[in-house]
Structure 1
Amino acid sequence: MANSILSSLFLVAVITAIATPHMSLAHKPINGGGYLYPQFYDHSCPNALEIVKHIVAKAVAKDPRMAASLLRLHFHDCFVKGCDASVLLDSTGSLISEKRSNPNRNSIRGFEVVDEIKYALERECPHTVSCADILAIAARDSTILAGGPSWEVPLGRRDSKGASLSGSNNNIPAPNNTFQTILTKFKLQGLNIVDMVALSGSHTIGNSRCTSFRQRLYNQTGNGQPDYSLDQTFAAQLRGRCPRSGGDQNLFFLDHVSPFKFDNSYFKNLLAYKGLLSSDQILLTKSEQSMELVKTYAYNNDLFLHQFALSMVKMGNISPLTGPKGEIRKNCRKINTY
């Protein structure tokens, strides 16, 4: 009986994965004009991918957390105005940086690694490789370095000339959002529930701050009741370094089992009610379809890795700037001045 259930769940996920648009997006016209395709720099900057790979590998060897940080940068970029490197812009007199938003402030990191990559690429092939493409390639390379899947990265994005603080505050899923709110935020980007669950699996690496999940530890759920979706022994362990007040910036592994390995332990943790964030655990408790996907990925690591790669390609195609739109920044932190 158990094997029958698992087989059914496996088939549901496989069918859904097959039905999900993925690699064909690599050659699909974007915004009525240009294309994204993996060979975009083959002639204009043939060493581009190797340069990114080398610098990302060096950064992750020095700081294993950097793999998750670079992956997260790509997410937080694409969910605001599309994959256009707007997240990298610093504030100026006329521009308010997305780095100041609630999801990003004192949280996102990896900008110095992007700067190093951009500097190296500008020396190799000036004014050619966009910062948006750097983020997409670095996210893929970071995933591989952590033991995750590889995929061909469609390329040809251009960089935005502006940022959106309001978009960053409103469009990026938050740790305390409801299931429906998170799903809506994904759907607004053209992503479905399969993408949402698979991409949430990126929390198999990385950290979260105490302030992002404290309310789960101290019955601050809004109704005065304990959060029964969190294993109470696990909660007691977390309280040791996440007190009722103070310690806001204390870091905790999102996946306490294999925090630096890109695998399906994240989904196994959810089945044990040991998902760190509320936004993680609700994938098991608030939707039958997402629950079945969580179970399927927990039982089948290969299927999770396969779908994650497909969903990353799909996410990387959110409203990129191509052709004459946008620009190729010389410095990823600021708009070009001529």
Structure 2
Amino acid sequence: MGGGPSWEVPLGRRDSRTANQAVPNSDLPGPFESLGNLTSKFRNKGRDSTDLVALSGAHTFGRAKCSSFSRRLYNFSDTWNPDPNMDSVYRDKLRETSPQGGNANTLANLDPSSPNGFDHKPPEQRGTSSNGSRMFSTSGADTVVIVNRFRNCQYEFFNVFAQSMIKMGNISPLTGNSGKIRVDCRRVN
């Protein structure tokens, strides 16, 4: 619906019979992690920088609560200054939506140039995600080349994104008698 890629989801993956939020949260990349931590977490799951950049490309679509990015506006890295990599005009616009001490649940677009569309134009300095900014602005990082490659070719970005989604779905699959293959993916058998 947002104009992004599609892919065939492999059938037969075993799902857990119970939910445990603590387990996935311990492995998920956080919004304020260094590029080194992000690439390390991906590497620990058998993924590379191309997967990191491709999957981070999903942040071109949707909205975020002000609480998830207000540190970039007011106290980046505990300096009491804004994120120096953030576009100052965009930062000032976000401050209107998300004033310091304002409603932390207010929503802002992840990508101001195409908030309702999934595209290959990364928001970089004009987005709410500091991870996306780090991938583009960290000097000498292999992610800079990948961001530019995807920015220049939507077909390649969409293709790699779809492949990375399938790979992500295959991280640590349950096997044997663990879990259950669902008949209907929306409910437990």
2:78 is aligned to: 222
Does structure 1 conserve the Cα–Cα contact (< 8 Å) formed by 2:12 and 2:181? no
CA distance in structure 2 between the aligned counterparts of 1:181 and 1:152, rounded to whole angstroms: 30
Q: Which amino acid in structure 2 is aligned with residue 244 of structure 1?
A: Q
Q: Which amino acid in structure 2 is aligned with residue 279 of structure 1?
A: N
Q: 2:10 aligns with which of 154, 163, 168?
A: 154
Q: CA deviation at 1:296?
A: 1.3
1:250 is aligned to: 106
229-238 vs 187-196, which deviates more? 187-196
Q: Which amino acid in structure 2 is aligned with residue 302 of structure 1?
A: Y
CA distance in structure 2 between the aligned counterparts of 1:332 and 1:264, rounded to whole angstroms: 29
1:211 is aligned to: 67
1:312 is aligned to: 165
Q: Quick one: percent identity of the two aligned structures?
A: 40
User: What residue ranges of structure 1 are gaps of 5+ in the alignment?
Assistant: 1-144
Would you say 1:278 and 2:130 are equivalent positions? yes
Residue deviations 1:233-268, cap 9 Å, x none?
100000011111131111111111111211112x2x
> Normalised by the size of structure 2, how large is the TM-score?
0.88
Does structure 2 conserve the Cα–Cα contact (< 8 Å) formed by 1:241 and 1:247? no
Aligned length: 188
Does structure 2 conserve the Cα–Cα contact (< 8 Å) formed by 1:158 and 1:327? yes
Residue deviations 1:131-164, cap 9 Å, x none?
xxxxxxxxxxxxxx22112222211012213333
Does structure 2 conserve the Cα–Cα contact (< 8 Å) formed by 1:284 and 1:291? yes
Give the secondary structure class of the aligned counterpart of 2:97: coil
Q: CA deviation at 1:174?
A: 1.3
Q: CA deviation at 1:284?
A: 0.8
CA distance in structure 1 between the aligned counterparts of 2:117 and 2:21, rounded to whole angstroms: 32
The structure richer in helix per residue is: 1
Would you say 1:241 and 2:59 are equivalent positions? no
- Structure-to-structure mapping, 1:192-207, within 5 angstroms: 192-207=48-63
User: What residue ranges of structure 2 are gaps of 5+ in the alignment?
Assistant: none
Does structure 2 conserve the Cα–Cα contact (< 8 Å) formed by 1:210 and 1:248? yes
- Structure-to-structure mapping, 1:110-121, within 5 angstroms: none
212-221 vs 325-334, which deviates more? 325-334
Q: 2:143 aligns with which of 273, 280, 290?
A: 290
CA distance in structure 1 between the aligned counterparts of 2:45 and 2:20, rounded to whole angstroms: 16
1:182 is aligned to: 38
Greater length-normalized contact order (CA 8 Å, ≥ 6 residues apart): 2
Runs of 4+ in 1 over 4 A off after TM superposition: 328-336
Distance 1:275 1:305, change over 3 A: same
Does structure 2 conserve the Cα–Cα contact (< 8 Å) formed by 1:153 and 1:313? yes
Residue deviations 1:293-324, cap 9 Å, x none?
11111121111111111111111111222453
Distance 1:255 1:332, change over 3 A: same
Give the secondary structure class of the aligned counterpart of 2:126: coil
Give the secondary structure class of the aligned counterpart of 2:64: strand
CA distance in structure 2 between the aligned counterparts of 1:333 and 1:322, rounded to whole angstroms: 20
Q: CA deviation at 1:328?
A: 4.3
Give the secondary structure class of the aligned counterpart of 1:201: helix
Q: CA deviation at 1:325?
A: 2.6
2:20 is aligned to: 164
CA distance in structure 2 between the aligned counterparts of 1:331 and 1:299, rounded to whole angstroms: 39
Q: Which amino acid in structure 1 is aligned with residue 177 of structure 2?
A: P
